[in-house]
């Protein structure tokens, strides 16, 4: 399964369990991650859900039990860094960007010894400050890859995770934001299509003959109308609700192809 098929299939998911199974499949097929864990890093009052570590996961039960017994949930550097970092990151980068305590170093070493390799994570931010998170790893062992390949994998992982979070929230909402009547102007739809292709503001301005100020104005209106905290979230909502027209799948495929040379930016 690739990104395009995941988006289309996840939009049709009837339960969070079905949605999570799709997440496992696409992260394994497209990114090579066979270990996946999804957590609510804060309460989600709008969904009636409490914070919980690993509410959906395929991590081994013995590791999760050991992790809980050691109290790693409260000192795990992956979780702590995720709370204050925007965008996906690899676990191996943490010693370079934060001072690990001896306990945190032990936590990461034991994680590797338990068979978690090439780990990555992303914190998912909702509009009202609610936080979710997805952690992934491979049990196959470390395989060196180029910086370009790593950036592409992280970009793809981020796009998949954002889509999962949008649909997850939608399945829990009593009245889904996607069901509200949202009316975009013709120009806003044009800007959204450029965003779906992962174009930066300068490119959008050039392609649509707009000023940078004009692009910023339209994007702010789009985020407000879609009740979205960032551009990636807005694009996924627009795709899910059909606001981009009948060619949304084509836009996703093109954005994925662009991502091979440059990851989608949020």
> Domains in the chain, ordered, with CATH?
3-172 (3.30.450.80), 179-259 (1.10.10.10)
- Which helix (DSSP H) or strand (DSSP E) does residue 104 occupy? helix 102-113
| Contact by Cβ (8 Å): 171, 16 | yes
- Residue 168 tokens read as 């997850």
pLDDT tens, residue order, the chain (266 aa): 888 999 999 999 988 999 999 999 999 999 999 999 999 999 988 788 889 988 999 999 999 999 999 999 889 999 999 988 888 999 999 999 999 999 999 999 999 999 999 999 999 988 778 899 999 999 887 666 788 888 899 999 999 999 999 999 888 874 444 445 678 888 998 998 888 887 889 999 999 999 989 899 999 999 988 888 888 888 887 877 777 764 555 555 555 554 443 333 33
Closest C-alpha to 127, from 237, 15, 3: 237
| Angle CA 29–31–34, to nearest 5 | 70
């Amino acid at each position: 399964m690739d990104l395009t098929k995941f988006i289309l299939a996840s939009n049709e998911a009837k339960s969070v369990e079905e949605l999570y199974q799709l997440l496992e499949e696409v992260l394994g097929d497209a990114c090579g991650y066979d270990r996946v864990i999804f957590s609510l890093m804060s309460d989600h009052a709008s969904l009636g859900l409490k914070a919980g570590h690993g509410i959906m996961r395929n991590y081994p039960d013995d590791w999760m039990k050991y992790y809980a017994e050691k109290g790693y949930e409260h000192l795990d550097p992956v979780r702590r860094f995720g709370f204050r970092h925007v965008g996906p990151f690899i676990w191996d980068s943490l010693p370079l960007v934060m001072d690990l305590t001896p306990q945190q170093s032990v936590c990461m070493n034991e994680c590797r010894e338990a068979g978690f390799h090439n780990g990555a994570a992303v914190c998912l931010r909702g509009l009202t400050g609610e936080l979710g998170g997805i952690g992934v790893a491979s049990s196959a062992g470390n395989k060196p890859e180029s910086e370009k390949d790593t950036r592409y994998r992280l970009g793809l992982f981020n796009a998949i995770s954002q889509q999962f979070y949008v649909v997850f929230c939608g399945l829990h909402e009593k009245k889904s934001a996607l069901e509200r009547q949202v009316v975009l102007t013709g120009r806003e739809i044009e800007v959204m299509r450029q965003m779906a292709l992962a174009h930066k503001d300068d490119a959008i301005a050039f392609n649509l003959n707009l000023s940078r100020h004009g692009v910023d104005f339209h994007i702010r209106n789009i985020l407000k109308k879609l009740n979205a905290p960032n551009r990636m979230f807005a694009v996924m909502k627009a795709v899910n609700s059909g606001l981009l027209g009948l060619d949304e799948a084509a836009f996703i495929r093109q954005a994925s192809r662009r991502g091979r040379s440059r990851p989608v930016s949020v």
